[in-house]
Amino acid sequence: MVKKAFYSLVLTAMLVLSSCGGGGGLLGNLLGLGTTTTTNNTGSILGSVLGSVLGGGSNGILGNIFGFTDNAANATDMVIGGTTINKNDLVGTWIYAQPGCAFTSQNALINAGGVATANKVKQTLTNTFNSLGFANNNTGFAFKQDGTFEAVLKGVGFNGTYTYDSSGKLNLKTSGGTIPMFVSRIGNGMSFTMESKTLLSVLQALGATSGNSTINSVASQVNGVRLGFDMAKYK
């Protein structure tokens, strides 16, 4: 209990302090959250061409722009480590598309009820994430080949270094602590998920606690599930 409380406190401080920059830098500019927010002066193609579209926060439009597809029929993609993903696959800029769901093993997916259950989990989380304010104009990741990253979660920006291995384990390291995550494919995009307790700590740090009961309910009813964000790749 003490360890969990300490982790939550460190994560809260990390996100709150890092938010002072307003999500600046490459990803912040891409999402219109940096110090240069005009569509003609963001220092990126995405900011210049799609700034007004992303500003609308329409997740439906995102799929049309990036060709994002959620190939839910491919059960292997929903298992962490089921499809090999290397660091080069991870490098680039990723923009939030919808809630993410992945499983720790093929057996966990089967025991949970397969793809149908995974889809139900995503549907359950959609209203929750929307009500919490997650959208494609305020949430995303940017990973660089040199091992550094930038992130914006619901408008809060932070950065640091990351480590990743082909089993699907991703650690985001900042001066305030580490956020352990998992990576799996989702159609032609990528799913960035966490253990439910980690996601709840992140939401708490962001001041978004109204979704706690939904996330706790999903985690208690579906064993071996990891929850987070499906994202479309820009470049």
Give the residue carrying structure tokens 């209990």. Answer: 1
- Read off the pLDDT of residues 117-172 as tens digits, 9 standing for 90 and up: 888 898 899 989 998 889 888 888 889 999 999 888 888 888 899 999 989 999 99
Tell me, yes or no, if the pTM score tops 0.75: yes
Q: What is the pLDDT of residue 224?
A: 93
Q: Is the pLDDT of residue 83 over 70?
A: yes
Local confidence band at 225 (pLDDT 50, 70, 90 cut-offs):
very high
Output the average pLDDT for the chain. Answer: 75
- What pLDDT is recorded for position 148? 93
CA distance 181 to 198: 9
pLDDT at position 10: 44
- Residue among 121, 143, 145 nearest 199 (CA): 121
Residue 48: which residues within 8 A CB-CB, separation 6 or more? 39, 40, 42
Flag whether pLDDT at 230 surpasses 70.
yes
For the chain, percent helix, then strand, then coil, each to nearest 5? 40, 25, 30
Nearest to 181 by CA among 229, 128, 120, 119: 229
Read off φ and ψ for residue 177, nearest 5 degrees: 150, -175
Q: Which two tokens stand for residue 191?
A: 């799913």
Q: Which residue has the tokens 């080949």?
A: 145
Q: Give the SS3 label for residue 171.
A: strand
Residue 104 main-chain phi, psi, to 5 deg: -75, -20
| pLDDT confidence bin for 67, thresholds 50/70/90 | low
- The pLDDT tens digits of the residues spanning 170-217 come to 999 988 789 999 999 887 789 999 999 999 888 888 777 677 888 989
Residue 70: the pLDDT is 65
pLDDT on residue 166: 87
| 58 CB burial (10 A radius; 0-12, 13-18, 19+) | middle
Q: Which two tokens stand for residue 126?
A: 């959609």
Q: Quote the distance between the C-alpha of residue 68 and its chain's center.
A: 15
Q: Which residues constitute the domain of residue 46?
A: 2-233
Q: Nearest to residue 179, comparing CAs of 28, 15, 2, 26?
A: 15
- Give the dihedral sign, CA 191/221/205/47: positive
Is the pLDDT reported for residue 28 higher than 70? no
Beta-ladder partners of 101: 227
Interhelix angle for 114-132 vs 212-221, to 10°?
A: 170
Total number of domains in the chain: 1
Quickly count: other Cβ atoms within 10 Å of residue 55's Cβ: 14
